[in-house]
Amino acid sequence: MVVARKEFADHLLSARFIILLFVLGLVAAIPLYFVADTIRSAAQANSGTPAIFIALFWYAPDVTDQITLPSVAGFLGIVAPLLGIAFAFDAVNGERARGTLPRLLSQPIHRDDVINGKFAAGLAVIGIVLVSVVGLIAAFGIIRLGILPAPSEILRLALWVIVTFVYVSLWLAFGMLLSVVVRQAATSALIGFGVWILVTIFGGLITSLVGGFLAPISGSDAQRLANNQVQEIVSRLLPDTLYREASLVLLSPQAMSRDISTPATIDGYVQAQQQIPSLTSLDQSFIIVWPQVVALVALTVACFAIAYVRFMRQEVRA
Amino acid sequence: MTSGPRLAPKRRIVPRQGSAAAGASPAESLDDGSVRIRTRKLTKRYGDLVAVDHLDLEIHSGEIFGLLGQNGAGKTTTILMLLGLTEPSDGEAWVVGLDPARHPLEVKRRVGYMPDSVGFYSDLTGRENLRYTARLNRIPDELAETTIDEVLDQVGLTERADDLTDTYSRGMLQRLGIADALVKDPDVLILDEPTTAIDPLGVTEVLLLLRRLVEERGLAVLLSSHLLNQVQSVCDRIGIFASGRLIGNGTIAQLAERFGDGAAHIEAGFEFENAADAERAPGLLRAIDGVEDVKSGPRPGDPWLVTVRPPSAGGAVRQAILSVAAAEGLRLVSMRPIVPSLEEIYRSAVARSTGETTGAVH
């Protein structure tokens, strides 16, 4: 549609697109630099190591003895929300501020074409950025490190990109909601980034605080268990956790089912000793993370729905 | 500014006024094919506040109608309802024969709108902004290019068309706004405060442009403003808005008759040959049927002010003055009817309406 096309062109030519592409690329390059060495030596040592290509993405490298960097996927998971927010925070309130909204709405287009078009354009740009960055990393792995991906690894990577895309579109919908509800673009940007910092960096703190509040530990094992469970439930409410769990399972076949406990696995605590370390196959990985993915999609739809309804009801006045 | 060439013939394939498919216009507006905007008891309430109070309005093609009123009188709300951008609380409206609340897309296709303090995308040029509008109106690209060139020429922005709208002055933005409203080749133009924040020369240009557009294209133009003297110079009919109600509606002459002091004024200048003539003149003038009073000007040689009641007798009185002057040998050098200023009419109308009503205030 016409609005989507114009917004997409605007995004591609905008400064923020270049900046974000650059930032994301840099952010992915940092762990890659450290990971590359480890992987290359591992690949040279045993040249039949399964799923080594995809380790490029999930392996968290040790920089020194004490410091472990997040993996490439981890870094992307932290920074990707910025993508979502950046392309949406001034979508509607920017039009309002420039005085173009009444003129736009007086054209013979459906009112929802405006918000749908902007969202679609945002999705398209995000898709481009994600695919480019992941493509570059994959190319690096293949060309510089000489590692060839197996078909199942390629599939895992593709699925992971899709899940990352859904995750970023959640933040896009959130940014869009902010742009509809908040008058000033600057304020909506600040709120968006504030929430991002809160969820991403302080997410763990929040869950342990809430856990401590609802199910305090005072020594007994049963209480520790209860506390753990509450923390898990609270952390599942944060989309960041959902994404990280899905990411981990999709990307690393070595992930034990005890690393995340889901309805598809039995509670990790009890079963840990009985687990035989092995590689989970792709379809099993997918079954494990299916609830997370559905939850992310549901959150995205909910955010966008609220933004949509609020936008349709708003008064047009300049 | 040069006048542009006529646009390509209309390429509309939509039902015209009066089609059975539209199904929303009443029988009366079908008879008079030139009524473009009509409202009946149109009302808008925001909670307790009545922003527009039972408005009855009719605007024809080929005329410029001025909606006059203070800020907050309800002009913008009325316009938003006519465009289908706000739902009326009560009453009905028909724009080009359609109900804007039920057929908003169709109405928007045929109505060009320029909002209050119109804005454009500052990272696009004027021409690109117009192209976007053309695309939103589903105008094929080739036709759009020629149309854009024409409207830019008509508003006089051809040289600056390919500069970023960031660099435009306020007056240029207003003109681009008019061009933007014209891109879709509309039947009706609705302009909200088109001359506010423009310098006096710019205002004249815009008003002349509007006049020319109406004459060339037979548009119906509704413009709202709170700047009385500008509205006066270009509007055919005027509606006075106060507190959401239309308290006066008609040409300036009609409004003057309704809200004036009930008298017309004529300015008559004489060149008397001797003092005796100068003394006879007032008596002779007062003797004319319909003349209420004759006042001399502040300095000797200034024209005399003749008050005529009722105002309709103005024409006859002027004739009479001519014949009296000729018969009595008085040298009449100038005579003109004084048109009451819109500002006086407006003030008197508002004062009268607040005097009459008690409750309908914010």
- Look at residue A245 in the predicted model and tell me its pLDDT: 80
Q: Which of B24-38, B216-230, B257-271 has the lowest mean pLDDT?
A: B24-38
Mean pLDDT of B218-237: 84
Would the pLDDT of B32 be above 50? no
- Predicted confidence band of residue A51 (pLDDT cuts 50, 70, 90): low
Cα separation, B203 vs B209, whole angstroms:
10
- Look at residue A123 in the predicted model and tell me its pLDDT: 94
Alpha helices in B93-236 (DSSP H): 104-110, 126-136, 141-155, 170-182, 200-217, 228-234
CA angle A283–A286–A290, rounded 5-degree value: 140
Residue of B nearest to A6 (CA): B132
Q: Which residue has the tokens 């933005």?
A: B173
pLDDT in tens, B328-342: 888 888 888 887 777
B141 HSE (CA, 13 A, CB side) = 2
Cis check for the bond before B310: say yes or no (omega within 30 of 0).
Answer: yes
Residues of B in Cβ contact (< 8 Å) with A316: 80, 85-86
Contact between B333 and B270 (Cβ < 8 Å): yes
Residue of B nearest to A318 (CA): B116
The model's pTM: 0.80
Q: Which of B80-84, B209-213, B351-355 has the lowest mean pLDDT?
A: B351-355
Q: Say whether B51 sits in a helix, a strand or coil.
A: strand
Cα separation, B228 vs B100, whole angstroms:
29
As to burial, measured by CB atoms within 10 angstroms (0-12 exposed, 13-18 middle, 19+ buried), residue B253 is middle
- Predicted confidence band of residue A44 (pLDDT cuts 50, 70, 90): low
Higher pLDDT, B151 or B32: B151
Closest approach of B120 to chain A, Cα-based (Å): 6
pLDDT in tens, A302-315: 999 999 999 998 88
Distance set, CA A52 to CA A31, A69, A91, B163, B210 (Å): 16, 19, 41, 55, 73
pLDDT in tens, A99-132: 899 899 999 999 889 999 999 999 999 999 989 9
DSSP-derived pairing of the beta strands B237-242 and B64-69: parallel
pLDDT in tens, B282-314: 888 888 888 888 888 788 778 888 888 877 777
Would the pLDDT of B361 be above 50? no
- Look at residue B138 in the predicted model and tell me its pLDDT: 92
Strand-pair partners of B64: B221
- Predicted confidence band of residue A190 (pLDDT cuts 50, 70, 90): very high
- First-to-last C-alpha distance (Å) of chain B: 44
- Predicted confidence band of residue B320 (pLDDT cuts 50, 70, 90): confident
Contact residues, chain A to chain B, C-beta under 8 Å: 2-3, 6, 10, 98-100, 102-110, 315-318
Indicate whether this complex's ipTM tops 0.90. Answer: no
Mean pLDDT of A187-207: 88
Q: Which of A72, A77, A56 lies closest to A140 in space, CA to CA?
A: A56
Transcribe A18-51 into DSSP letters: HHHHHHHHHHHHHHHHHHHHHHHHHHHH-TT-TT
Q: Do A99 and B108 touch (CB under 8 A)?
A: no
Residues of B in Cβ contact (< 8 Å) with A2: 132, 135-136
The total number of residues written for chain B in this structure: 362
Torsion sign across C-alpha atoms B253, B254, B257, B259: negative
Would the pLDDT of B9 be above 60? no
Higher pLDDT, B176 or A241: B176
Closest approach of B114 to chain A, Cα-based (Å): 7
Higher pLDDT, A193 or B343: A193
Residues of B in Cβ contact (< 8 Å) with A10: 123
**Candidate from B116, B119, B136 with C-beta closest to A98:** B119
- Look at residue A285 in the predicted model and tell me its pLDDT: 77
- Predicted confidence band of residue B232 (pLDDT cuts 50, 70, 90): confident
